[in-house]
Chain A
Amino acid sequence: MADARLLSSVVAVEPLAPRRRRSLLRRVISNWSVRLGGGVLCILIMAALFAPWLGTIDPTAMDPGSGNLLPGARGDFNSFDGDVIPHWFIMGTDSLGRDIWSRALFGARVSITVGIAVALLALVLGLCIGLTAGYFRRIDGIVMRVMDGVMAIPAILFAVSLVALFGGTLLMVIVAIAVPEIPRVARLVRSVVLSVREEPYVEAAIALDTPTWKILLRHILPNAVAPLIIQGTYVCASAILVESILSFLGVGLPAEMPTWGNIMAEGRSQFNQFPHNVLFPGIFLALTVLSVNVLGDGLRDTLDPKFNKRTE
């Protein structure tokens, strides 16, 4: 079978094919959905971070004298301390004379913090639960039935009762929104683990006596990263929405805190005369959620091999 020619081809040390790897990061960045969604989101985050320098005043300060101003009005803002600040009310004021532009920008801080924190919390907890449930089949049944139970509780109802029980602090709102998301993340991770654990390279690692934690971390977890990032963006978008809903219903953060839901709740009663109270925070909210979702779609197209049309 092994004649001289064949052996010579065995003996010859094979030259390697030229490298052709396009870095993942470059592929992600060259995607237009990622550019658009990420770009808009970056601008919003920057605006939230640098809110004090973007023509804003104290978002909680009231001036009954300049209540219900229309967008674009210029005037003096009389604070309780007696200071008179000349100010341009780009988006008008609410019935208590609070500047909508300032409140919306500072509200972005709350919304984006809640979105990112909820996404991180749900991802980390869901990842841990999914990894253990998927890899250790003994506890899979119990853990996943508990997850099913959590999924059966309506998310808003759960958040309302949690906030009602423990008070409307930022931390509690984050926890209340994150908990119902955990089962979804856990299921996603578990499904990845279930398919990857049957891969021969995982068996090879077992045969190489690799400790279980290392198998999970090095051979299984990397396969879950891409779907997790994608899921994370959707969790983030929905968390921003849910936080606004909670505030709007008056069961979220305290009414004086500038959040988009609170601004809209405040403007709701006068919506017919002064629609700007609801309109502007609504635009901010829609823009944020949309850009996060567009970013998520772009990431899915570039990171998830199932949607990747490139052939190997």
Chain B
Amino acid sequence: MANQDACGPATPVLSVRDLAISLPYGGDRLNAVQEISFDVLPGKIVCLLGESGSGKSVIANAVMGLLPSGLLPTAGSIRLQGRELIGAPQAELRKLRGPSMAMVFQEPMTALNPVVTCGEQIGEMLSQHVRMDRAARRQAILDIMRRVHLPEPERIYASYPHQLSGGQRQRIVIAIALILRPALLICDEPTTALDVTTQAEILELIRELQTQNDTAVLFITHDFGVVAEIADQVVVLELGHMIEQGEKHEVLTRPSQPYTRMLLDAVPELSLRKRQPLPEAAPLLSARKVSKVYATGSWPLSQRHVHALREASVSVRPRETVGIVGESGSGKSTLARCIARLIEPTSGDIEANGRSVAHLRGRQLSPFRRDLQVIFQDPYRSLNPRQTVGSSIIEGPINFGVPRAQAWSRAKELMGLVRLRPEALSRYPSEFSGGQRQRISIARALACEPKLLIADEAVSALDVSVQAQILALLEEIQRLTSVGILFITHDLRVASQICDRVIVMQQGRIVEEGSVSDVFFAPREDYTRRLLAAAPGRDFSFARSADVQQDPVYPKSQQV
């Protein structure tokens, strides 16, 4: 099925010229993308890089012929091995999908059919395009499973997607994409939903298979680390326009455009930053040997106990930022939710203000709640969409007995602190972007004048440039109010930028803790070392503006 036969080594597998795709009337701009031109050569990986809304996925879907209705290519051409794809009938595209081009999606759980076994799903691709008998087909499926390094192919052949881990599911999706050895592989953020160590494995796998088959890869990502890891060529997009294009080293070390440079500057780096020394003070909160056990099943005899958190201890002092890092399922969010008393710990003690709060209920928790606020991960779901921003912000103070007028004027001040106009108070969350919403969430948390903030993956859902703004904002707030921050993240680079101390968690346990310099630059535990090694692009020195490494200089903004 070597499709490269027809074209010489220098002929691009995919060639996009002056592509423009229009948005339906009423969109935020006329074209989703315009004037896009790039080539993907066999054996090369081209990364489409851009922030959310830049049109990267639109291009990928246009190539696959999977544009949602309403989006129409209006100009330009997309040629796959010399064949024009724009305007090609669906039947023809269907023949090309699989043998000539294939796609790996972001979320493997939704890309796979939950009620069909993994082996069958891979086999479906074969039976659509190739005639072969059952035994040969099964053999081919087991072969590709071995090639994507799935353990125990026989067992996984008969497994359903939910029985596999996220990384294994993504390997199945890759196996489906590659079983017919397509000339072009499109990967749409294939590692965004995965943990760092899994991400490193999947990137390595894509690299390996791509070299074996001489496949051309169009790789879509927002993560500069991933680009540094995997790309040969980079295409940078901003709001549907092609900003810059070139060799990886060229773009990442000597960017010619200010936008690229701005993005590169915003990429968090695993590095030691000087933080102001902390004043000696009693901890705001200390949790000792907190455990959380979930029981599944309703009958006493058939119950299984899941230890989400085992004897974790943590304390936070004023003006201190303590980071909790770990992969998904490591118990970091459970620890945060126990400390915030959104759930009750099974055992252990949490002390705040000289009072044990671990097992208080209802109204007894009020004084504690006032001192501790949470910023959640998903800015789209952490604000009530049916409430105006203002009423969300004053909800806390009013619960704590602040008169309405006073709460409202304080809300206006807070809008200034988070750099939004006071008029924003009368609007609804749907009118704001992700970064703006996260700032509103921060304002809501600050309205209660807490002594401790828990930021649960507060910047994970945001673009790098917005992420950098939010981190800068948090630091400034900390400087102004001496608030202690418990910062939960899976991104070690972000943790190294903002934290004084870090706690590394694995499977509900704290495996290592200490200052940033100790944990990240002289790790004692194997697991920490593995996490650090998996961080994408850590060996790559990005171009940065000269003043980046220095402590940020804050403007004289209004005092809180």
Contacts and interface: CB of A to CB of B under 8 A. Distances in A.
Contact of A200 (B378, B423, B555): B378
Contact of B468 (A1, A201, A208, A219): A1
Contacts, number: 121
Interface stretch (B31-39, B276-284, B424-432): B424-432
B189 to A, nearest CB: 20
Most buried by B among A14, A21, A210: A14
A169 B120 CA distance: 63
Contact of A19 (B381, B420, B431): B431
Interface stretch (B79-87, B228-236, B239-247, B393-401): B393-401
A206 interface: yes
Nearest to A199: B381
A19 B421 CA distance: 14
Given A200-B376, A200-B377, A203-B376, A208 B387 contact: no
B366 interface: yes
A268 B374 CA distance: 69
B384 A219 contact: yes
Interface residues of B, number: 59
Contact of A17 (B342, B376, B431, B444): B431
A14 B557 CA distance: 15
Interface in B387-423: 387, 392, 395-396, 399-400, 416, 419-421, 423
A5 interface: yes
Nearest to A207: B374
A3 B551 CA distance: 9
A14 B420 contact: yes
Contacts of A16: 420-421, 423-424, 427, 431
A124 B436 CA distance: 38
B396 A209 contact: yes
Given A1-B266, A11-B557, A200-B382, A209 B423 contact: no
B421 A15 contact: yes
A152 interface: no
A211 B268 CA distance: 40
Contacts of A10: 419, 469, 472-473
B262 interface: yes
B131 interface: no
A312 B444 CA distance: 24
A312 B340 contact: no
B155 interface: no
A3 B548 contact: yes
Given A21-B428, A201-B383, A11 B262 contact: no
B475 to A, nearest CB: 8
A13 B436 contact: no
B386 interface: yes
Interface in A227-248: none
Given A200-B381, A208-B399, A222-B386, A1 B497 contact: yes
Interface string B353-391: 000000000000110011011101110011110110000
Contacts of B471: 1-2
Contacts of B557: 11
Contacts of A2: 468, 471-472, 552
Contacts of B421: 13-16
A205 interface: yes
Interface in B67-99: 70
Nearest to B546: A3
A137 to B, nearest CB: 11
Given A203-B374, A207-B340, A6 B465 contact: yes
B548 A1 contact: yes
B448 A208 contact: yes
A11 B340 contact: no
Interface in A4-27: 4-7, 9-17, 19, 21
Contacts of A210: 395-396, 399
A208 B448 CA distance: 8
B58 to A, nearest CB: 13
Nearest to B268: A1
A201 B429 CA distance: 12
A208 B396 contact: yes
Contacts of A145: none
A304 to B, nearest CB: 15
Given A1-B497, A10-B472, A10-B473, A206 B381 contact: no
B298 to A, nearest CB: 8
A218 interface: yes
Contact of A203 (B342, B400, B468, B473): B342
Nearest to B342: A203
Contacts of B378: 200
A43 interface: no
Interface in B306-363: 340, 342
B444 A204 contact: yes
A209 B444 CA distance: 13
Nearest to B447: A208
Contacts of A203: 342, 374, 376
A7 B431 CA distance: 24
27 contacts: A1-B265, A1-B497, A3-B547, A5-B262, A6-B266, A6-B465, A7-B552, A9-B469, A10-B469, A11-B419, A14-B419, A16-B423, A199-B381, A200-B376, A203-B374, A204-B383, A204-B441, A204-B444, A205-B395, A207-B369, A208-B396, A208-B448, A209-B366, A209-B399, A209-B400, A311-B70, A312-B430
Interface of B: 70, 262, 265-266, 268-269, 340, 342, 365-366, 369-370, 372-374, 376-378, 381-384, 386-387, 392, 395-396, 399-400, 416, 419-421, 423-424, 427-428, 430-432, 436, 441, 444, 448, 465, 468-469, 471-473, 497, 545, 547-548, 552-555, 557
Interface of A: 1-7, 9-17, 19, 21, 199-201, 203-211, 218-219, 222-223, 311-312
